[in-house]
Chain A
Amino acid sequence: MQTTAKMQQLKDPALIELITQKDEAALGELYDRYHRLVYSIAINVVGMPEDAEEITLDVFSRVWDKAHTYRSERAGVSTWLTRMTRNRSIDVLRRENVRPMKHSVGWANAPREPVDESASPESATHIAMQITLVREAIASLPEKQQEVLALAYFKGYSHSEIAQELELPLGTAKARIRSGMQKLRALLVDE
């Protein structure tokens, strides 16, 4: 078994490989790196801490059981985790028909603290920079575009549901989503 310090130096795919061999320390390290991100997504979708914790537990349990299905050529480990989390959270939201009256959805304002305080400074800095970039890009969008993107991403709302929620014409809801995504693509993806 690798020491904690050595485990912290391993890249994500190496941790997944160890998890396929049922290395509990590797699962623990992966949890330490990503539990806040996973929980953050879950709580912002379902709104209830207990449900969000169950989803977080479920995601990492699935990693333990299904690590051998991970394919690095399809996505990074963090993307694999966040996709699983969002899909699971929206499933819970729809199945339980939860629409918390006071639970509003929105994007983060300020740059976040490093995800994993025990990670190497180099990786923590890199993660912090990525987070700042994404948050600044989202903040640069008109508020109306941020709003529809939040409903689509965190609540899994369709065009029609967004239009109904915000009392907008369907075409307006569609245009705001498309426009917001185009701007984010220009800022975050395209060269």
Chain B
Amino acid sequence: MSEVEHEEILALIAAYALNSLDPDDTELVDRHLPACEICRAELDAYEAVVDVLPLGTPDAQPSSALKGRLMANIDHEPASESVAPPIPVVQEPRFGQRISEALESFFRGPRWRPVAVLIVIGLVVSNVILWQQLTAPDPNAWRRVRLTATEIAPEARGIIYISADGLNGTLIVDGLPQLGSKEQYQLWLIEDGERISGGVFSVDNDGYRGKQIESADPLQNYGAFGITIEPAGGSPGPTGERVLGYNL
């Protein structure tokens, strides 16, 4: 998927949450989501919006008889007759239980005890490795960095999503003022006082833009970020006013 396609899909996520996309766009997003943690995170946020919209519904009251109709219509059979039996839960042997079982088997001591010893050692080692894997940090976890607006653009908002492997990411901004044709916004990736351009962009009428970040080095190398106003096409270094920043 190209950068442009990803940015176009980002712009569709809000409507997808509302279930108001046309079928072809829905299909596009459906195909994209499983492989994009950033779009899934955006979807979670917009679904949270959709879930509170009912509270904005104009109030209405059904007839007082409706409750009586409900209670008369429901199946009055007791739970033991009408509810499916619970699915039995098979418990996996716990770490210690496996070891106990192995040791109990060992001390019952048939002739093949040396083999049993090897089996027990192997079991212990494999369980230790499994336990380490289960408690290790999730390698699929991604990072979200929220940018803070300055007085130049107090209504602006910005988020940077950094992929799980720390190599790349996506910038999403909204509420930024539209600039004239001779100016654009520029993202800066900052580490040890050095500022590297992460890309130049313009925003739409609502101050919105979703954009993949351009970086030769892994994004995880940078501890700070900033967005400034620059001449159209960008600058080698920041020259204009900062509108959004993180850890600056």
Q: Please give, as numbers and ranges, the residues of chain A lying within 8 Å of B204 by CB-CB distance.
A: 175
Q: Please give, as numbers and ranges, the residues of chain A lying within 8 Å of B46 by CB-CB distance.
A: 181, 185
Q: Are A181 and B14 in contact (CB under 8 A)?
A: yes
Contact for A56 among B11, B15, B66, B71, CB less than 8 A = B66
CB distance from B174 to the nearest CB of A (A): 5
Q: Please give, as numbers and ranges, the residues of chain B lying within 8 Å of A174 by CB-CB distance.
A: 11-12, 15
Interface size bracket, B side: 35 or more
Q: Are A36 and B77 in contact (CB under 8 A)?
A: no
Q: Are B66 and A57 in contact (CB under 8 A)?
A: yes
CB distance from B52 to the nearest CB of A (A): 5
Contact for B54 among A28, A37, A53, A152, CB less than 8 A = A37
Give the residue name and chain of the B residue nearest to A160 (CB). Answer: B22
Q: Are B60 and A40 in contact (CB under 8 A)?
A: yes
A118 beta carbon closer than 8 Å to chain B:
no
Residues 1-40 of B, flagged 1 when their CB comes within 8 A of A and 0 if not, give 0000000000110110111111101000000000000000
Q: Are A113 and B59 in contact (CB under 8 A)?
A: yes
A157 beta carbon closer than 8 Å to chain B:
yes
Q: Which residues of B contact A (CB under 8 A)?
A: 11-12, 14-15, 17-23, 25, 45-46, 48-63, 66-67, 69-71, 73-79, 82-84, 146, 157, 174-175, 204-206, 208
Q: Which 4 A-B pairs have the closest CB atoms?
A: A181-B14, A152-B20, A134-B55, A179-B206
Q: Can you name 26 A-B residue pairings with CB atoms under 8 Å? A: A20-B79, A20-B83, A21-B83, A22-B75, A24-B74, A28-B67, A52-B62, A57-B66, A61-B70, A64-B75, A68-B83, A78-B54, A86-B54, A137-B56, A152-B18, A158-B21, A158-B23, A174-B11, A174-B15, A175-B205, A182-B14, A185-B46, A185-B48, A186-B157, A186-B174, A191-B146
Q: Which residues of A contact B (CB under 8 A)?
A: 20-22, 24, 27-28, 31-32, 35-37, 39-41, 43-44, 49, 52-53, 56-57, 60-61, 64-65, 68, 75, 78-79, 82-83, 85-86, 106-109, 112-113, 130-131, 134-135, 137-138, 149, 152-153, 156-160, 162, 174-175, 177-179, 181-182, 184-186, 188-191
